C-alpha cells in the first residue's frame, strides 16, 4: 500500500437525482451541488484552494463544453482550477493527489454529464480505437454483450445470475431517493424479457441519465475544523487494461486486482462496496476481482443500473459510500469507478469513518 | 509535509508538420514517449504513472483517447490520467504530472501532450463545434487592437515577432515552419486574416506530440541526466465574458504569474529569469504576455520587442525554439513551451541555446484567454536570487 504524506477527508458531498431528462443546462445541474457543499461547511467559495471538475465534451456535443461548467463553480476573482476529461472520480483522484503536497487545504471536486441529448451508442463507440473498432461501431453495449457471453461460456455465470444482480439493485434503489429506477422485480420475470443485446436484456443495461455530483475534501486539520464527521479517504488508485477486447480475458479485471492491492483493500473490513456496475455481468467480475465475500453489502444505493449519469456516476459511488459510512451502515468500504468499454479502466477509493 | 522535489529528466518531441500521415495517433504519441524515455535513460518499466493532455476530443473525433492510446504508451496495469483545459492544456498536463511526483505517491511519471489536427477541422472545433465560426484569430484580434490602442505600439511590432520566431525556428529541427526567406516585408504583404493579423503573423495547424519524463529528487540524482528542477508552477482561470473584464491584460494571467514568482522567490522577473517560452499563437501576444505576466511594465512590452531584447542573443530571449508561431499541435503547444524551457536550463537546446540559462519559464493560455498554466524550471534545486 502507498504511504501517504497527508490524511485527507471528505467533508461535504451532494448529488443531483439521476434524471432521465434534465431540461436545463449542465451548469444548472452542477450549481446546486456546488452551492450545497459550500453551505454544508460554511465556507466562502473564494476560500476554496483548488477546484477540479470531470466532464466530457462529447456528451454535450460541443468542443470546450467544460468551459461553460465553470459558471457553476465561480471564477471571479480568478481561481486555481483544472479539468479532467474523465469521470468526476478521477477529478477526486487528482484533488487527493494535490493535497498530498501539503501546501493547500481544500479541494472542490465535481463531475457532471448529460447523456439524454445525444445518442449513447453512437457517441461512446468513439471511445474505441479510431482505425479498427470505431468504424464498425463497436459500442460499449456490444462489448458488454461480449463480456456477458464470455462469462457464460467460461461457466462463471448464468443469465439467472445477471437477473439476480438486476433484481437486487432495483430493490436496493427503493431506499435511494436519487435513483431513477427502482422496484420489486422477480428473477423469473426478468428472464422472461426479450434480449436487447444477447445475452443482455433491457434491465441488464443502464438507463440513460443526466446528473451531477460535487464534494469538498480537506487535509486533516482543516477537515476537523470544517465538519464534525469527516469521512477519511484512506487510499485511492486507478489502473487500466488493454483497449483490444481480444487481448484481454473479458471474464476478469486485472486492473481492478492491481488497484485493490495498491489500496490495501483487505487490510480492514469491507462493509460496503459501491461499484460502477453499468451492465449487470460486471458485478460478477468485480466481486471476484475485489475478493468480496458475503459480508460486504454491494451497491446498497442500487448502483448505476438504477441511475447512470456518466461522468458523475463514479464520483456518485464515492458519495453513496461516504453517506453509508456517515449513516453508520458500515465503518469502512470501497467505491469503484470505471471508464471505457467492458470495465477497461478502474478506480478504487477506500473510505473509513471517523471512528 | 513539503512537496517532494520534482525534475524533468527526459524530453522527447516528434517532428511537427502539417500532416503526419506516416503514423497513427498511437504511433505519434509513442514516437514522442520513446524519445523522452531514451533521453531519460529509462524504459516504460520505470514509469509509475502516465498523464496525457490534448485539446478537445472533437479535433480528432476520438472520445477520451487515453482509452485507445494506453497500449501504445505502455500504460497497461498503470494509472493513466487525462487533462483538458483548452489551449493551456499542454502546460496544465505537465503541471498535473508534477503534482503526482510532488505528492510522493509516484516516483517517475511520463507526461505526453499531442494533437493530430490533420485528422479533423481545427477551426470548426475551435469555434465550439459551429461551422462558419470566427476561429481563435477572430476572437483575439479585437483584443489585440485594444492593446495597440492602449499601448500606442507601432504596427511593425507584430511583424517583428513573426520574423524573429520564424528565424529562431530555423535552428530547431522539430519546428513545423522553416521559412528561411521570411522578412518584415513578406509578413506585411501576406494576406490580412483578422486585422491587424496577417497570415504570416498566425500560427500554423500542426500534427505532433511532446513528452516529458519527470522524476523525484532521488530519481533525478540517479538518472545521470541534466535535470531541470520544476521550482514553481501555477494555474489560474477566470470567466470568459463579464462586464468590465480586461481582455488585454486578464487578471487570471496576472495572478498566475504572481503566484508563480512568489513560490519561486522571484522579485524581479525581468532580471531574475533568463529566458521564456511564452504561448504566442499570434504575433502580438508576445508584448501582451510580457506585460500580462509582469515581465515588462504595462505599456512597455512592445519596447522590449522593438529593441531586440526578446531575440536569441537579446537580454530576455522569448520563444527561442520558434514558439507556437512555428509549430502548433494545439494540445501539445503548452507542453512544448514547458519542455523547451527545460531544454534551456538543462543546456540541451542545441543551436537555440541561451548561453548559461539557469532559470526559464514555460507558459500556456487557453479558452477566451481565460485559462493560464505556467511552470518555472531551474538548473539548480534551490536557486538563490
Per-position pLDDT tens, chain A of length 355: 678 999 999 999 999 999 999 999 999 999 999 999 999 999 999 999 999 999 999 998 888 999 999 999 999 999 999 999 999 999 999 999 999 999 999 999 999 999 999 888 888 999 999 999 999 999 999 999 999 999 999 999 999 999 999 999 999 999 999 999 999 999 999 999 999 999 999 999 999 999 999 999 999 999 999 999 999 999 999 999 999 999 999 999 999 999 999 999 999 999 999 999 999 999 999 999 999 998 999 999 999 999 999 999 999 999 999 999 999 999 999 999 999 999 999 999 999 999 7
Confidence at residue B134, expressed as pLDDT on a 0 to 100 scale: 78
Nearest-angstrom CA–CA distance, B269 and B275: 10
What is B6-122+205-223's CATH superfamily? Answer: Thiolase/Chalcone synthase (3.40.47.10)
Write down the pLDDT at residue A196: 97
Question: Strand runs (DSSP E) across chain B, as ranges?
Answer: 6-13, 49-53, 80-83, 108-116, 192-194, 197-198, 207-216, 228-237, 275-277, 359-366, 371-378
**What Cα–Cα distance (Å) separates residue B135 from each residue in B89, B144, B278?**
18, 15, 21
What is the predicted ipTM?
Answer: 0.97
* Rounded Cα distance, B139 and B368, in Å: 7
C-alpha cell at B5: 522535489
Q: Which of A79, A241, A242 sits opposite B236 (nearest CB)?
A: A79
CB contact under 8 A, A80 and B236: yes
The shortest C-alpha distance from A167 to chain B (Å) reads 31
Interchain contact A354–B (C-beta under 8 A): no
Q: Do B99 and A67 touch (CB under 8 A)?
A: no
Distance of alpha carbon B259 from alpha carbon B236, whole angstroms: 9
Number of Cβ within 10 Å of residue B130's Cβ equals 12
Q: Please list the residues that pair with A310 across neighbouring strands.
A: none
pTM value is 0.98
Compare CB distances from A83 to B66, B85, B240 and report the shortest one's residue. B85
What is residue A207's DSSP assignment? P
pLDDT of residue B126: 79
Q: Is A127 close to B63, i.e. CB distance below 8 A? A: yes
CATH of region A1-355, choose from 3.40.50.2300, 3.40.630.10, 3.40.50.300, 3.40.47.10: 3.40.47.10
pLDDT over 90 at B127, yes or no: no
**Looking at chain A from residue 70 to 109, which residues have their Cβ under 8 Å from any Cβ of chain B?**
70-71, 75-86, 90, 93-94, 97-98, 100-103
Three-state SS at B382: coil
pLDDT at residue A1, as a whole number = 67
Q: Determine the pLDDT at residue B153.
A: 98
Within 8 A of A66 by CB-CB distance, chain B residues are 84
Q: What is the pLDDT of residues B331-356, one digit of tens each?
A: 999 999 999 999 999 999 999 999 99
A208 grid coordinates: 440513460
Domain boundaries defined on chain B: 6-122+205-223
Cβ contacts (< 8 Å) between B99 and chain A: which residues?
94, 97-98, 101
Alpha carbons B342 and B358: distance in angstroms, whole number: 10
Q: Does A310 touch chain B (CB under 8 A)?
A: no
Chain A partners of B240 at a C-beta cutoff of 8 Å? 67
Size of interface A-B (CB pairs under 8 A): 182
Q: How far apart are alpha carbons A66 and B86 in whole angstroms? A: 9
Residue B1, min C-alpha distance to chain A (Å):
5
Mean of all residue pLDDT scores within chain B: 96
- B63-97, pLDDT tens digit by residue? 999 999 999 999 999 999 999 999 999 999 999 99
pLDDT over 80 (residue B131): no
CA B307 to each of CA A125, B274, B313, B381: distance values in angstroms, whole numbers, following the listed order: 54, 17, 12, 33
Asked if pLDDT for residue B21 goes beyond 70, the answer is yes
Half-sphere exposure (Cβ direction) of B281: Cα atoms closer than 13 Å: 25
CB A98 to CB B99 under 8 A? yes
Q: Beta B192-194 vs A195-197: how paired, if at all?
A: unpaired
Strands B192-194, B80-83: pairing is unpaired
Query: Minimal Cα–Cα distance from B156 to chain A, Å?
Result: 33
CB contacts under 8 A, A 233-262 vs B, are 237-244, 247, 254-255, 258
Domain ranges of chain A: 1-355
Cell of A218: 480537506
Among candidates B105, B126, B238 on the partner chain, residue whose Cβ is nearest the Cβ of A2: B105
What crossing angle do the helices spanning B285-292 and B156-169 adopt, rounded to 10°? Answer: 100
Amino acid at each position: 500500500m502507498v504511504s501517504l504524506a497527508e490524511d485527507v477527508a471528505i467533508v461535504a458531498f451532494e448529488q443531483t437525482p439521476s434524471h432521465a431528462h434534465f431540461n436545463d443546462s449542465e451548469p444548472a445541474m452542477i450549481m446546486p451541488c456546488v452551492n450545497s457543499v459550500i453551505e454544508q461547511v460554511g465556507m466562502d467559495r473564494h476560500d476554496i484552494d483548488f477546484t477540479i471538475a470531470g466532464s466530457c465534451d462529447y456528451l454535450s456535443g460541443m468542443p470546450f463544453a467544460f468551459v461553460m461548467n465553470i459558471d457553476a463553480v465561480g471564477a471571479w476573482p480568478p481561481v486555481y482550477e483544472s479539468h479532467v476529461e474523465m469521470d468526476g472520480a478521477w477529478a477526486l483522484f487528482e484533488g487527493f493527489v494535490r493535497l498530498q503536497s501539503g501546501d493547500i487545504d481544500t479541494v472542490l471536486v465535481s463531475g457532471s454529464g448529460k447523456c439524454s441529448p445525444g445518442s449513447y451508442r453512437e457517441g461512446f463507440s468513439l471511445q474505441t480505437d479510431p482505425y479498427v473498432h470505431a468504424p464498425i461501431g463497436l459500442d460499449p453495449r456490444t462489448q458488454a454483450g461480449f463480456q456477458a457471453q464470455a462469462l457464460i461460456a467460461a461457466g462463471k455465470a448464468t443469465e439467472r445470475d445477471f437477473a439476480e444482480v438486476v433484481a437486487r439493485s432495483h430493490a436496493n434503489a427503493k431506499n435511494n431517493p436519487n435513483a431513477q429506477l427502482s422496484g420489486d422485480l422477480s428473477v423469473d420475470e426478468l428472464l422472461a424479457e426479450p434480449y436487447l443485446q444477447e445475452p443482455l436484456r433491457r434491465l441488464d443495461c443502464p438507463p440513460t441519465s443526466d446528473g451531477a455530483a460535487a464534494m469538498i475534501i480537506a487535509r486533516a486539520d482543516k477537515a476537523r475544523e470544517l465538519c464534525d464527521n469527516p469521512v477519511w479517504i484512506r487510499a485511492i488508485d486507478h489502473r487500466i487494461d488493454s483497449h483490444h477486447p481480444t487481448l484481454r480475458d473479458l471474464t476478469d479485471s486485472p486492473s481492478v486486482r492491481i488497484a485493490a492491492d495498491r489500496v490495501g483493500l483487505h487490510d480492514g473490513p469491507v462493509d460496503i462496496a459501491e461499484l460502477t456496475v453499468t451492465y449487470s455481468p460486471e458485478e460478477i467480475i468485480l466481486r471476484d476481482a475485489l475478493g468480496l465475500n458475503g459480508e460486504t453489502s454491494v451497491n446498497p444505493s442500487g448502483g448505476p443500473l438504477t441511475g447512470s449519469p456518466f461522468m458523475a456516476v463514479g464520483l456518485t459511488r464515492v458519495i453513496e459510500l461516504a453517506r453509508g459510512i456517515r449513516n453508520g451502515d458500515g465503518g469502512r468500504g470501497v467505491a469503484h469507478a470505471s471508464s471505457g468499454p467492458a470495465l477497461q479502466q478502474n478506480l478504487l477509493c477506500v473510505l473509513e469513518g471517523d471512528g | 509535509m513539503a512537496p517532494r522535489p520534482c525534475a524533468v529528466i527526459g524530453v522527447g518531441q516528434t517532428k511537427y508538420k502539417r500532416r503526419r500521415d506516416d503514423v497513427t495517433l498511437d504511433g505519434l504519441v509513442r514516437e514522442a514517449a520513446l524519445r523522452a524515455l531514451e533521453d531519460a535513460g529509462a524504459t516504460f518499466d520505470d514509469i509509475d504513472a502516465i498523464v496525457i493532455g490534448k485539446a478537445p476530443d472533437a479535433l480528432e473525433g476520438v472520445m477520451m483517447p487515453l482509452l485507445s492510446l494506453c497500449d501504445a504508451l505502455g500504460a497497461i496495469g498503470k494509472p493513466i490520467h487525462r487533462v483538458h483545459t483548452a489551449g493551456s492544456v499542454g502546460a496544465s498536463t505537465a503541471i498535473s504530472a508534477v503534482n503526482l511526483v510532488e505528492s510522493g505517491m509516484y516516483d517517475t511519471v511520463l507526461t505526453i501532450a499531442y494533437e493530430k489536427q490533420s485528422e479533423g477541422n481545427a477551426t470548426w472545433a475551435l469555434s465550439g463545434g459551429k461551422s462558419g465560426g470566427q476561429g481563435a484569430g477572430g476572437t483575439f484580434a479585437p483584443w489585440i487592437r485594444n492593446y495597440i490602442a492602449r499601448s500606442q505600439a507601432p504596427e511593425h511590432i507584430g511583424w517583428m515577432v513573426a520574423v524573429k520566431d520564424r528565424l529562431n525556428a530555423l535552428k530547431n529541427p522539430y519546428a513545423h515552419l522553416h521559412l528561411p526567406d521570411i522578412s518584415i516585408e513578406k509578413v506585411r504583404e501576406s494576406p490580412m486574416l483578422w486585422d491587424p493579423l496577417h497570415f504570416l503573423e498566425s500560427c500554423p495547424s500542426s500534427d505532433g506530440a511532446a513528452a516529458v519524463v519527470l522524476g523525484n529528487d532521488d530519481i533525478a540524482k540517479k538518472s545521470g541526466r541534466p535535470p531541470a528542477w520544476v521550482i514553481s508552477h501555477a494555474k489560474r482561470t477566470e470567466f470568459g465574458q463579464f462586464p468590465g473584464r480586461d481582455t488585454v491584460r486578464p487578471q487570471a494571467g496576472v495572478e498566475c504569474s504572481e503566484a508563480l514568482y512568489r513560490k519561486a522567490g522571484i522579485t524581479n522577473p525581468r532580471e531574475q529569469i533568463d529566458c521564456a517560452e511564452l504561448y504566442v499563437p499570434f504575433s502580438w501576444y508576445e508584448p501582451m504576455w510580457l506585460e500580462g505576466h509582469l515581465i515588462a511594465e504595462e505599456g512597455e512590452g512592445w519596447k522590449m520587442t522593438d529593441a531586440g531584447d526578446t531575440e536569441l542573443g537579446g537580454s530576455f530571449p522569448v520563444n527561442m525554439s520558434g514558439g507556437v508561431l512555428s509549430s502548433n499541435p494545439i494540445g501539445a503547444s503548452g507542453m512544448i513551451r514547458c519542455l523547451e524551457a527545460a531544454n534551456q536550463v538543462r543546456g540541451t537546446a542545441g543551436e537555440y541555446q541561451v548561453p548559461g540559462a539557469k532559470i526559464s519559464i514555460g507558459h500556456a493560455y487557453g479558452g477566451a484567454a481565460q485559462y493560464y498554466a505556467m511552470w518555472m524550471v531551474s538548473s539548480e534545486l534551490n536557486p538563490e536570487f
